[in-house]
Structure 1
């Protein structure tokens, strides 16, 4: 073995030159701290192949050389016999060759502080207990191992490695992005991360789950294919990511070989369970695995696969397991080779159909706990839909589309929904004039309403669905689709037709005894009168609908009801009433995830924030609103485009072009969770604190006399002294102070003094 000498220590390292490590600060700090503890003698760096265990061990070794008398790095991958662990260590330490191996090692180590790094131990575990024997006779020995498996030694401190961090708000902060860019530069020295390739680089990192080896092999492919094409190729990473560096170990030259090395270490039963896990995309629960395997004893298999670093566990949503995508693809290939593959896929599809129909929802979105679960199972639901379509089971596919409808609506996934529905409608069992076809067409119309640009196709969906519902005598189904048709009429400029249809619907729902839908139609009539500029009539319909909406307690409808009222007050210039309604709406909306609601709400909040004097924050909110619209792939109606442009122009005139553009870019990058948190804080703040001092001068709500009182009270004068200076009574001073506290929503004189100082309030007299 080549040695690399470091002054002050005897070091045998096979890696004299290494590029700076990216990320791993947490793991390095943990491992470093563990190895400095007197009670810790063995640290196992554990993770799947290609996760970066060896590189972390190398970095850790280099950082610890000054702490030990002797540092030795031993590569164990070439060994095939577990009995050769100690002889390999003996050779690396140059122990006496003619003594029993253990005795020679103990004598060589002696009382010295020795760090022994054993790389790739997972295939030699039958004799790993030899390390415990060695540690028992060498009190100052520390061992670091890298392994894909848990060692199951009492002296072991397990340190599992996660993938590199993926892009979030700031792409450049992602460790996976940093590594890919650095590796891409080794292929093309001119490669730089910029606005043109940023989304593609992010996509590569996400597709490969931040797995360092996969990123290395993907970057190498840039020699042969442009980045855009590489993203498409990575749909099947095991086929693409091969032919790695010839100076790397053979198992690290292709992703398939890397995963295959771990797979070969499993027992036949474990391999079978591993293959079944490949049917899940994005993870699964224990209940899901039990349902799909038909076995009640999956717990032990989960433990084994986690300990082999082929599964990752998380405590989210009560416990889930997942695979890195390259590992999952390998498992799926093994499943496809299994004679039981059809049964597995059938049980998988049926399980997720049953799960979807258990969900609780509001009018057009799921309740919060179910929304989180559906987001986690998104890919599994799509896998189930794909199976039903492939097997020509339109009725089951319709049931699943119906159950997914509030999820798709709430998350703004309307184009996704329509694409799936169209595929179901095109199946042989989806084409006949059946009740499930009528339902599917109605769902498609409902999603089309949310897009704002597909009115002709939406009306076709509606007319065929209405016709089928009439054939089957389904009056309620017919009326529900007519609601969608009215919205489509609104969007295409047929306001009178929409209003006539809704008046007809009022009678229909009254006859059907569906008061919930009566309330919804009343609200919809109100929105139509907003667009017509007849605000009094709009408010009258909203008032008529409110008692039934409150009785039902559906927070989605109540939140939208308040939003629509806020729109009326915004357009009529009643800022206080608009603020009151929008605050109520925002509080209701906190309980739901509905992108359509968020999109509407952010625009009104931006207007209110601008009115309060915070033009920079208002610009960020308006930008975030536009980002939500683009995420939903929703077209902009001409009337709303005009409103947006007018608001943008108002903000430009306040901030100037450069500051406006800077704030707009910031709004595009900020996460929705952070934006929502900032709006929460803005609504929660007292009126006087909502604007920054530099954005807002003295609010007009205070009279000149009140300003004088505030200034003197803030300066520390008593009520009697203030009264004397202003020539008024002491009781009048107290009354002014009380009025100001109420206007500014402040709690006491201390807050009032702080507010006066912040806003530079001074009296008009001295």
Structure 2
């Protein structure tokens, strides 16, 4: 029936099928003031022409049209009716109950189960159902009707996929409203064949797509792709959302995406579209990885994070259908996973891809990436196997860059495993290979790592020159990650040298840079160093939140060496705020964890722990001290972490025990201890393997911080504070 005839009939006009029906409708409405409702107008032919004639011929009439597609008239004003609001995940019961989508679910559930109530034990499941169904009213109604046989928790588990379950609507409704699949199929029939193909293609994207991404996978010029996306948006089948960079992204609701993928398979076109999708996102990953250590580092990392879901989809397909492509992908993504803290997921993809075929070049890079992530998770044995395999293959292929990267990472691993001599040999072999190409190897460079080796296993002043050179190099190439790492290490060196104020500036700058690029592992390191700096300066209120957040991040990442370091730093804090027993326990727990993962403390860390334990001994008897050491060894990692996170400063007004020695670095406390024993500078230098000049500088720093001018005065403070 034509729309004019339908309106004529509703107005009570006889012979509503005659040829002059439009003029009769206009005559009837002349001078009238009314609102005409045209519902579901998208399937009625000539709706736009009729409404246009009506508005011109009957000035007092207003028309309200519900439709999936705008009429595209000049006088049209669109009011988009989106899905119902859904509750945030893990919302409290009150917020869940107030959600419109949950209220609709409850209303429809009561229609089939009169006593259905939203309770604390089912509210989260109902909320998650509404989220899973994108707040679509029909989907929620169909799902709620299943409450008759499936309680919310069970119903939720059956919604992956969802279309098979969302059926059985009321028999007095049109067929297209009795199942969600039928509704979507009806909407699909309103599209041209070309538009249907594009809808199906959009289904392969997870988390949306930019115009450039969609254009590449669909094989269309961007202007034409934009026109087609606009048409799909007019049919209310896609949604557009601005990305953080301001670029528009096009996405499907989860249920529409499920339907689109289902239709893509039915039409036998899924392999080709997914193949184009995977190849396109390999190009995306390669472009971003090439920029990862340069001036566009922040943008490159952000783009990979934004496309992470698409990259996962590409990897999942490639592992099944194109293993060499999968290996290329993981090789390109290794640095991203490492910097942004996707350790467990990254290792999972890398291990699967390394089990398949692929190019030698990609295998070298993937082995290095897998080894680096294994090292950061404390799996040193597996890290050494993977990095050694990468080095062997790189040598076979004559891959100089791959050799330099593997040697560099093996040097870092030896450093972490308390094998400094081996680390120096490996890094020294890597250094000329790196200098020949002068290109970034990723997170670190041999020059930088040789500086760190001096910092942790030698003397801080010997570390300053190579670390400064590394900082200059990274600033020159625009590598924000490298700049932040060098600033952090220089900050640690200055702390060791007693310049806590300048150290704090460098550490704060490193933290700001690391937060800007999302370097999770780096954020932890900068936070713990800043927390320790605050402890050393007696600023306990500032120290606690830094240490707490760093420990929380370390646990989330599963970075066990970081957890041990955080416990040691927390112990330093505890010893100085009156929690000596906890300090001893956490040092013992950290030492036990280090032993389990094969990452003994370097001298830099040992000096800090020794200083912490000396402070703790002031408040504990010998028996209590030994008891807490044994308890810490048996404490268990989870219990130690929970204890540390529960600690708060006991007092921010009084002077904690041993205040005079608070501002001394671990090395300076060591010097004070030797002075109290009556040792000369030469004897101290011989004991520690340092130059007399270095010892004299440390002793001078001790005098300055204690505000004394003689050894006798310094020793008096040492005796008073229990350090003699």
Q: CA RMSD in A?
A: 4.3
Q: Check the 8 A contact 2:3/2:50 in 1, yes or no.
A: no
Residues 254 and 170 of structure 1: CA distance in aligned 2, closer, same or farther (over 3 Å): same
Matches of residues 541-580 of structure 1 in structure 2 within 5 Å?
541-543=466-468, 545-568=470-493, 575-580=500-505
In structure 2, what is the equivalent of residue 504 of structure 1?
426
In structure 2, what is the equivalent of residue 149 of structure 1?
69
Tell me how far 1:235 sits from its aligned partner: 3.2
Residues 642 and 629 of structure 1: CA distance in aligned 2, closer, same or farther (over 3 Å): closer
In structure 2, what is the equivalent of residue 132 of structure 1?
52
C-alpha distance in structure 2 between counterparts of 1:143 and 1:252, whole Å: 25
Residue number among 182, 197, 200 corresponding to 1:257 in the alignment? 182
Q: Tell whether 2:167 aligns with 1:237.
A: no
Q: Tell whether 2:191 aligns with 1:271.
A: no
C-alpha distance in structure 2 between counterparts of 1:110 and 1:532, whole Å: 95
In structure 1, what is the equivalent of residue 298 of structure 2?
368
C-alpha distance in structure 1 between counterparts of 2:146 and 2:35, whole Å: 38
C-alpha distance in structure 1 between counterparts of 2:542 and 2:133, whole Å: 36
Residues 207 and 484 of structure 1: CA distance in aligned 2, closer, same or farther (over 3 Å): farther
Tell me how far 1:463 sits from its aligned partner: 2.7
Q: Check the 8 A contact 2:424/2:453 in 1, yes or no.
A: no
Tell me how far 1:389 sits from its aligned partner: 2.1
C-alpha distance in structure 2 between counterparts of 1:236 and 1:175, whole Å: 24
C-alpha distance in structure 2 between counterparts of 1:138 and 1:613, whole Å: 82
Tell me how far 1:475 sits from its aligned partner: 4.5
Give the TM-score normalised by the residue count of structure 2: 0.67
C-alpha distance in structure 2 between counterparts of 1:375 and 1:258, whole Å: 34
In structure 1, what is the equivalent of residue 307 of structure 2?
377
Tell me how far 1:586 sits from its aligned partner: 3.7
Q: Check the 8 A contact 1:86/1:130 in 2, yes or no.
A: no
Residues 214 and 118 of structure 1: CA distance in aligned 2, closer, same or farther (over 3 Å): same
Count of equivalent residues: 565
C-alpha distance in structure 1 between counterparts of 2:154 and 2:495, whole Å: 48
In structure 1, what is the equivalent of residue 683 of structure 2?
none
Residues 568 and 513 of structure 1: CA distance in aligned 2, closer, same or farther (over 3 Å): closer
Q: Tell whether 2:287 aligns with 1:358.
A: yes
Residue number among 59, 68, 78 corresponding to 1:158 in the alignment? 78
After superposition, what is the alpha-carbon deviation per residue over 1:226-259, rounded to whole angstroms, capped at 9, x for unaligned?
6665555433222233334566654344321221
Stretches of structure 2 that go unaligned for 5 or more consecutive residues are: 110-114, 580-650, 655-724
Tell me how far 1:262 sits from its aligned partner: 0.7
In structure 1, what is the equivalent of residue 6 of structure 2?
87
Residue number among 370, 385, 388 corresponding to 1:444 in the alignment? 370
In structure 2, what is the equivalent of residue 758 of structure 1?
none
Q: Check the 8 A contact 1:171/1:177 in 2, yes or no.
A: no
After superposition, what is the alpha-carbon deviation per residue over 1:101-124, rounded to whole angstroms, capped at 9, x for unaligned?
657766776656533443322212
Q: Check the 8 A contact 1:292/1:348 in 2, yes or no.
A: yes
Tell me how far 1:629 sits from its aligned partner: 3.9
In structure 2, what is the equivalent of residue 28 of structure 1?
none
Question: Match of 1:358, SS?
Answer: helix
Q: Check the 8 A contact 1:613/1:696 in 2, yes or no.
A: no
In structure 1, what is the equivalent of residue 407 of structure 2?
482
Question: Match of 1:320, SS?
Answer: strand
Matches of residues 85-124 of structure 1 in structure 2 within 5 Å?
87-88=6-7, 91=10, 95=12, 97=14, 113-124=33-44
Q: Check the 8 A contact 2:86/2:102 in 1, yes or no.
A: no
Residues 252 and 618 of structure 1: CA distance in aligned 2, closer, same or farther (over 3 Å): farther
Matches of residues 200-599 of structure 1 in structure 2 within 5 Å?
204=129, 207-218=132-143, 221=146, 224-225=149-150, 230=155, 232-244=157-169, 250-296=175-221, 297-316=224-243, 318-359=247-288, 360-363=290-293, 367-394=297-324, 396-427=325-356, 429-430=357-358, 434-450=360-376, 452-491=377-416, 494-496=417-419, 498-510=420-432, 513-514=435-436, 515=438, 520-528=445-453, 535-539=460-464, 541-543=466-468, 545-568=470-493, 575-589=500-514, 591-599=516-524
C-alpha distance in structure 2 between counterparts of 1:109 and 1:462, whole Å: 83
Q: Check the 8 A contact 1:95/1:104 in 2, yes or no.
A: no
Question: Match of 1:313, SS?
Answer: strand
Question: Match of 1:147, SS?
Answer: coil
Larger CA deviation: 605-614 vs 271-280 = 605-614
C-alpha distance in structure 2 between counterparts of 1:561 and 1:311, whole Å: 46
C-alpha distance in structure 2 between counterparts of 1:183 and 1:474, whole Å: 62
Tell me how far 1:556 sits from its aligned partner: 1.0
Tell me how far 1:622 sits from its aligned partner: 5.1
Matches of residues 18-37 of structure 1 in structure 2 within 5 Å?
none
Q: Check the 8 A contact 1:181/1:191 in 2, yes or no.
A: no
Residues 102 and 615 of structure 1: CA distance in aligned 2, closer, same or farther (over 3 Å): farther
Give the TM-score normalised by the residue count of structure 1: 0.63
Tell me how far 1:609 sits from its aligned partner: 7.6
Tell me how far 1:89 sits from its aligned partner: 7.5
Residues 233 and 535 of structure 1: CA distance in aligned 2, closer, same or farther (over 3 Å): farther
Tell me how far 1:558 sits from its aligned partner: 1.0
Question: Match of 2:204, SS?
Answer: coil
Q: Check the 8 A contact 1:279/1:335 in 2, yes or no.
A: no
Tell me how far 1:157 sits from its aligned partner: 1.0
In structure 1, what is the equivalent of residue 601 of structure 2?
none
Q: Check the 8 A contact 2:404/2:433 in 1, yes or no.
A: no
C-alpha distance in structure 2 between counterparts of 1:86 and 1:625, whole Å: 72
C-alpha distance in structure 1 between counterparts of 2:51 and 2:575, whole Å: 72
Tell me how far 1:505 sits from its aligned partner: 1.8
Q: Check the 8 A contact 2:404/2:434 in 1, yes or no.
A: no
In structure 2, what is the equivalent of residue 706 of structure 1?
none
C-alpha distance in structure 1 between counterparts of 2:414 and 2:395, whole Å: 21
Question: Match of 2:205, SS?
Answer: coil
Tell me how far 1:327 sits from its aligned partner: 1.0
Larger CA deviation: 403-412 vs 201-210 = 201-210
Tell me how far 1:261 sits from its aligned partner: 1.7
Tell me how far 1:266 sits from its aligned partner: 1.2
Stretches of structure 1 that go unaligned for 5 or more consecutive residues are: 1-80, 655-694, 699-766
